[in-house]
A and B are shown apart, each in its own frame.
Chain A
Amino acid sequence: AQKVTQAQTEISVVEKEDVTLDCVYETRDTTYYLFWYKQPPSGELVFLIRRNSFDEQNEISGRYSWNFQKSTSSFNFTITASQVVDSAVYFCALSESKNTGGFKTIFGAGTRLFVKA
């Protein structure tokens, strides 16, 4: 079964702190894709990163970094030196191919991050 768990409902940090958002997924497929999206207070959904199941390399993009570990089925997201503008809801998502064609994507419930000045 396809499932994404973001156990942290809300996190509150003070500016410049580092923060890690957890994502644990379940899938029976060997080929799948993982994503992180950001939803700022304005409401739009913004793509952050995509990873396929065969690429376990960690990635860093500025203050953002991602740690993908197949052994623990986790795809965690770390923000270094957080800023107020990082305040948003962050969603982890899992995409699998279906027999009927297409890719079915399941989102986690999201983690709301508050960064206080």
Chain B
Amino acid sequence: NAGVTQTPKFRVLKTGQSMTLLCAQDMNHEYMYWYRQDPGMGLRLIHYSVGEGTTAKGEVPDGYNVSRLKKQNFLLGLESAAPSQTSVYFCASSYKDQPQHFGDGTRLSIL
């Protein structure tokens, strides 16, 4: 019962470094999402995808890129990390308007 799996779980980066967060789901969901969670601000949508090969911007897309080359995977990239991107990142997947299934989160610190 893997559900939604995020890797890595923790990461510390230096300003300017790049990295990719991986999200994998095994529920055959069409829709996938990336959120960031910051204290007092809830979950904010970064990018989302409604199917393989498609992506769309959410509320806070700047500084991030995404790719959905395979239906089960949704990658979130930071090309040049900034301290403002220190956050907890959650990936989720869903079937259309049904409830989202979330991964356990990735705690990212940028120094």
Contacts and interface: CB of A to CB of B under 8 A. Distances in A.
Q: How large is the interface on B (under 10, 10 to 19, 20 to 34, 35 or more residues)?
A: 20 to 34
Contacts, number: 60
B99 A45 contact: no
Interface in A79-109: 91, 93, 95, 97-98, 100-109
Contacts of B48: 102, 104
Interface residues of A, number: 26
B42 A110 contact: yes
Interface stretch (B12-20, B52-60, B73-81): B52-60
Q: Majority SS of interface residues in chain B?
A: strand
Interface string B11-52: 000000000000000000001010100001111110011110
Interface of A: 6, 9, 33, 35, 43-45, 47, 50, 52, 91, 93, 95, 97-98, 100-110
